[in-house]
Amino acid sequence: MTNKSNKRTLKQDYLIISRAIKLINTSTPHLLLHINIFSFCYAATYVASNYITAAIIDELVGNRDIKKLIILISCYSLEIIFRILRDKSWRKVRSFHIIANKWEEMLLNEKNFSMDYKNMENSKIKAMRQTITDSSGDTARFSGLVGRLVTFFNAFWRGILAFGVSLEMFFMHSDRILSGFQKFIDSPLATLLFFVIIAALTFFDYKANGKYSHLIADNMKKCSYSGRLLHYYLNDYLDDSKTGKDVRIFSQQKLVNYSSDIFYNEWKNHKNDWFSNEKKKGMWHNGFWVAMTALTYLYVAIKVYIGSFGLGSFVKYQWCVSKIASATFLFAMAIADLRANNDFLELFFEYLDIPTDMHYGTIPTEKRMDNKYDIEFHNVSFKYPNTDKYAIKNLNLKFKVGDRIAVVGMNGSGKTTMIKLLCRLYDPTEGYITLNGIDIQKYDYEDYLKLFSVVFQDFKLFSFSVGENVAASVDYDEEKVWSSLEKAGMLERVKAMPKGLKTPVYKDFEEDGVEISGGEAQKLAIARALYKDAAFVILDEPTASLDPIAEHEIYSRFNDMVKDKTAVYISHRLSSCRFCDRILVFDNGQLIQDGSHETLLENPNGKYSELWNAQAQYYAENKPLNPSSLKSNKT
């Protein structure tokens, strides 16, 4: 995270903190009030007990009035009220502190769900998300804010109360007749001067502390960077059995040793600087602190000596002055820390404020039993954000109900992009798409998405139960899940699992979870697509890692399952989609051919014939491979 704390004004920092507090209040109401009650009671407990102790000492060395002493001692019991209030508020503060990180992740998740998909893929936004999740721990983020607010208000109330008590010093004078230096010490002017010197010493302590803290933070950052690189070489890289192969085959040991030596030395140097700055910081702080304490003892002792106040007050004022100094120091540090923590909060809010640009329409989609949904692309062109190249160019295309459509073409020809536009993960840069004659942007977004069931190439299953994975929901219709599993060819496998539909997929969280093969995962993903029972089903190369014949089998079986729905199959392997009535050939973002397998092959110079002839040799049964065509085939 870049250090922006120096660039923000005090007002900007204040606005960020107050927004954060408002947000926290939605989860833990009145947090600031609780912090203040806690801090006030905490400070009051100590100031009051010190005050009473001083009064008791004064009474013991003075009049020794038993009644007064009993009253003073019983005053201690009042402390219990402060303690009860203090602990009650602290529990509230603490409970937020504990949930803070999880609560924050939930906020991020909500944002991720509602974010335009184009932003999910945007590299700058991805980097923002990474930085937010990387800045973890109790010392940053919202939990850091709360911790720092506690320090801030603790210091504030302790300082104010201690200052309030020590103001008495201005009004306490000796009964004796004094002259010269003693008279000056007894005067309010000397007390004022004393406070000014204490304030100056505290200020210098704060400045020195700030200077070294910055240097230490810088050393730590550098240390962590070289430490991460070192860790990568020593642990991640060498430890990984997969890299172990590369290390041996390419004799990478020397390279690794050389690089890790460099990073180790760098890391050691930064660590030395870090400790040397820690030492200097400690020396300055101790020096200022001893000077201030000595001065306070001296001043207050002289006041007692000349009779300005009694022995009890010596204890009280010495304590109060040292508390004012430490509180001022902590107060200033807390402000600096709060402002530094705003780097995170600012980024977090920037992320939450990323606008949702997709046009969210309001028209509900028609619910049709006959699945009569016609979709048409009207001269659609599309460029990905921050790119100049068209991924789709002038696409005119109509999907009719019940169509079986194959979309083929080389990698990068625009097949997946066309599906993303169809499912409104992106909106066209030019042109528009209609559903039953109405621009799809006018439909309610969530309602529109219900029309599609897509199995993407990089589909994800969760470490939840099989049933929840298939239904994509906690509540599901068991019969429908079984029937989808049966159609997807996973019935027997799931039946044999220890807990049936309730069996967790993968062993991430549960001992009795099942590890499944790539092919089984695909079947579960297909079962999920079937369970959704959407009008359009799309397979976007989820089987790319399988061999062409296995892919062809899965595609054809899927075709039998989807019956009256409109089905779109994407593959860069033409054989997988041969059964489709209609084949769309994409090349360089453009739809260049549209027809059945047979009609497309009639054009020997067309892209389809070129691809078909090049690929056919790989999987045509009993046909020898032609080495020259292997070289030319890039798909």
Nearest CB to ligand ADP, comparing residues 387 and 605? 387
Nearest CB to ligand ADP, comparing residues 206 and 377? 377
What 3-state DSSP class applies to 538?
A: strand
Distance CA 75, CA 51 (A): 10
Location of structure tokens 């304590």: 319
The radius of gyration computed from the CA coordinates of the chain, to the nearest angstrom, equals 37
Nearest CB to ligand ADP, comparing residues 205 and 541? 541
DSSP state of 363: B
Nearest CB to ligand ADP, comparing residues 412 and 595? 412
What 3-state DSSP class applies to 400?
A: coil
Nearest CB to ligand ADP, comparing residues 191 and 575? 575
Shortest spacing between CB 580 and ligand ADP, in angstroms: 17
Q: Which of 411, 463, 545, 603 binds ligand ADP (CB under 6 A)?
A: 411
- For the window 142-171, what string marks contact with ligand ADP as x by the rule CB under 6 A? ------------------------------
Can you name the residues that pair with 397 across neighbouring β-strands? 377
Q: Which of 413, 441, 465, 543 binds ligand ADP (CB under 6 A)?
A: 413
Helices then strands, each counted (H, E), the chain: 23, 10
Interface segment toward ligand ADP; rule CB under 6 A; list 80-88, 104-112, 246-254, 413-421: 413-421
Nearest CB to ligand ADP, comparing residues 415 and 582? 415
CB 39 within 8 A of CB 150: yes
Shortest spacing between CB 454 and ligand ADP, in angstroms: 13
Interface segment toward ligand ADP; rule CB under 6 A; list 68-76, 243-251, 254-262, 406-414: 406-414
Residues 6+ apart with CB under 8 A from 112: 120, 129
Does 439 bind ligand ADP (CB under 6 A)? Our answer is no
- For the window 330-369, what string marks contact with ligand ADP as x by the rule CB under 6 A? ----------------------------------------
Amino acid identity, residue 272? N
Q: Which of 409, 428, 467, 513 binds ligand ADP (CB under 6 A)?
A: 409
43 to each of 108, 156, 317, 553, how far by Cα in Å? 37, 9, 15, 76
Helices 10-25 and 311-352 meet at what angle, rounded to 10? 80
Location of structure tokens 């700058």: 124
Shortest spacing between CB 399 and ligand ADP, in angstroms: 17
CB 19 within 8 A of CB 12: no
Q: Which of 154, 226, 260, 416 binds ligand ADP (CB under 6 A)?
A: 416
Strands 566-571 and 404-409: parallel
Distance CA 282, CA 274 (A): 12
Shortest spacing between CB 108 and ligand ADP, in angstroms: 21
Shortest spacing between CB 571 and ligand ADP, in angstroms: 10
Token output for 320: 């109060």
Distance CA 27, CA 103 (A): 8
122: closest CA among 350, 392, 384?
A: 384
Shortest spacing between CB 591 and ligand ADP, in angstroms: 12
441 to each of 91, 335, 396, 444, 471, how far by Cα in Å? 49, 48, 17, 8, 27
Distance CA 165, CA 175 (A): 21
Nearest CB to ligand ADP, comparing residues 384 and 619? 384
Interface segment toward ligand ADP; rule CB under 6 A; list 35-43, 329-337, 412-420, 518-526: 412-420
Considering only residues 76 to 115 of the shown chain, the ones binding ligand ADP according to CB under 6 A are none
Distance CA 216, CA 163 (A): 32
Shortest spacing between CB 154 and ligand ADP, in angstroms: 49
Shortest spacing between CB 415 and ligand ADP, in angstroms: 4
Amino acid identity, residue 571? S
Nearest CB to ligand ADP, comparing residues 392 and 527? 392
Shortest spacing between CB 426 and ligand ADP, in angstroms: 9
- For the window 372-401, what string marks contact with ligand ADP as x by the rule CB under 6 A? ------------x--x---x----------
Shortest spacing between CB 462 and ligand ADP, in angstroms: 23
Shortest spacing between CB 588 and ligand ADP, in angstroms: 9
Does 326 bind ligand ADP (CB under 6 A)? Our answer is no
Nearest CB to ligand ADP, comparing residues 195 and 390? 390
Residues 6+ apart with CB under 8 A from 129: 108, 112, 351
Nearest CB to ligand ADP, comparing residues 416 and 503? 416
Q: Please count the residues of the chain.
A: 635
Does 592 bind ligand ADP (CB under 6 A)? Our answer is no
DSSP state of 342: H
Considering only residues 113 to 142 of the shown chain, the ones binding ligand ADP according to CB under 6 A are 121
Does 414 bind ligand ADP (CB under 6 A)? Our answer is yes
- Alpha carbon 142 to its chain centroid, in Å, reads 12
Does 417 bind ligand ADP (CB under 6 A)? Our answer is yes
Location of structure tokens 């032609």: 626
Q: Within the chain, what is the greatest distance between any pair of CA atoms?
A: 123
Shortest spacing between CB 420 and ligand ADP, in angstroms: 7
Residues 6+ apart with CB under 8 A from 495: none
Does 203 bind ligand ADP (CB under 6 A)? Our answer is no
Q: For ligand ADP, how many residues bind (rule: CB under 6 A)?
A: 12
Interface with ligand ADP (CB under 6 A): 121, 384, 387, 391, 409, 411-417
